[in-house]
Amino acid sequence: MKQIIITGNESEQRLDRFLLKYFNNTTRSNIYKLIRKKVFKINGKRITQEDYFLKEADVLDIFLSDESMAAMMKVYEPIKPSKLGLDTVYEDDQILVVNKPKGMLTHPDQTEYKNTLATIVQFYLKDLSTPTFKPAPVHRLDKNTSGLVIFAKTYEALKKYNALMRERNVEKYYICVVHGRLKQSGEVKGYLVKDEYLNKVSIQDEDQDDAKYCHTKYKPLKAFGTYTLVEVQLMTGRSHQIRATMQYIGHPIVGDLKYGGRRVAGNSNQLLHSNRLIVEGQRFEAPSIEIEAFIKSQSE
């Protein structure tokens, strides 16, 4: 006999669909036949309905021999992330952290579906997908920003890491190259206002309708020529926040044409990279970790 405790990741799906994924080397008709033979119990009761919807904490007992179950299960060799073009930086039973290249969307949109980070990660973690949940990013990066993205592997992990983000228990650091010599560290607090037509935000000193509060800290690391390498820490996570902040202080990011930057020879992208994450997970029973990643291009 085999006993399975249903978790939140498997709940709210039909029994027959769950069994088809669990017994991945058999047919739907055979699953129905086994259900009719009453070889399954849920919470101690024989079940004969294939359309029973599983609930979290249900106890599923399977009354089959080990040999019979083994014959209905095919063991797949895990896919190597590198074969899918994934640069995985960290992985445990709750999360996967990936180093996204420039030029790739985090989520699918109307212009691209297949070649997005979320789509590729979901293929890599396809065994964890259910009708009610697919591994999902906890946060996102702009298409032309490279760096670290956290994916939750289960629904419970997604709730946990969303809470960590809300409670600011995840510190997010970026590096960028800006125009001019930035001499002092500082911070910007203000309100982001979006121009929907231009898909561009600006920072205002006063709150107004539909504005979003933003807070960014920055520190110059090294000056070279007419440029400065800068470390940026996001205290809030708003779309285009760093790009607008650097323009606001008069040091736009190199290559960021939308926010006042200029291209340099040999580079056609904005020089912005999410290079470090610090997770303080104790309050939420998650590991406390610090993760770093170097810049990776999509062509690598």
> Which pLDDT tens digit goes with each residue over 44-93?
999 888 889 999 999 999 999 999 999 998 876 667 787 888 999 999 99
Judge contact between 81 and 121, C-beta under 8 A.
Answer: no
Q: How far apart are CA 274 and CA 258, in angstroms?
A: 19
pLDDT digits (tens, 9 = 90+) for 122-174: 999 988 887 778 999 999 999 989 999 999 999 999 999 999 999 999 999 99
DSSP state of 126: G
Smallest Cα–Cα separation from 154: which of 127, 117, 123, 185?
A: 127
Residue 235 has pLDDT above 90, yes or no: yes
The architecture in CATH of the region 81-292 reads: 2-Layer Sandwich (3.30)
The gap from C-alpha 256 to its chain's centroid, in whole angstroms, comes to 24
Residues 207-215, mean pLDDT to the nearest whole number: 93
Judge contact between 197 and 213, C-beta under 8 A.
Answer: no
Question: Read out DSSP for 226-294?
Answer: TEEEEEEEESS--TTHHHHHHHHTT-PBTT-GGGT---BTTB-S--EEEEEEEE--GGGT---EEEE--
Give the rounded percent of residues in the chain with a pLDDT score beyond 90: 71
Q: Which CATH fold topology does 2-71 show? A: 3.10.290
Please enumerate in sequence order all residues whose Cβ is within 8 A of that of 133, keeping only pairs 6 or more positions apart, or say none.
Answer: 9, 154, 155, 158
Judge contact between 237 and 167, C-beta under 8 A.
Answer: no
Q: What is the pLDDT of residue 299?
A: 44
Residues 2-17, mean pLDDT to the nearest whole number: 88
Q: How far apart are CA 126 and CA 142, in angstroms?
A: 25
Q: How far apart are CA 249 and CA 185, in angstroms?
A: 11
What is the pLDDT of the chain when averaged over all its residues? 90
Q: How far apart are CA 185 and CA 180, in angstroms?
A: 14
Partner residues linked to 215 by β-bridges: 189
Smallest Cα–Cα separation from 40: which of 76, 12, 6?
A: 6
Q: How far apart are CA 141 and CA 240, in angstroms?
A: 9
Smallest Cα–Cα separation from 88: which of 133, 143, 150, 171?
A: 150
Judge contact between 35 and 15, C-beta under 8 A.
Answer: yes
CB atoms within 10 A of CB 223: 14
> Lowest-pLDDT range, 4-8, 177-181, 248-252?
4-8
Judge contact between 154 and 125, C-beta under 8 A.
Answer: no
Q: What is the pLDDT of residue 296?
A: 59
The residue extents of the domains of the chain are 2-71, 81-292
Q: How far apart are CA 256 and CA 199, in angstroms?
A: 14
Greatest CA separation for the chain: 78
Handedness of CA 113, 84, 9, 59 (dihedral sign): positive
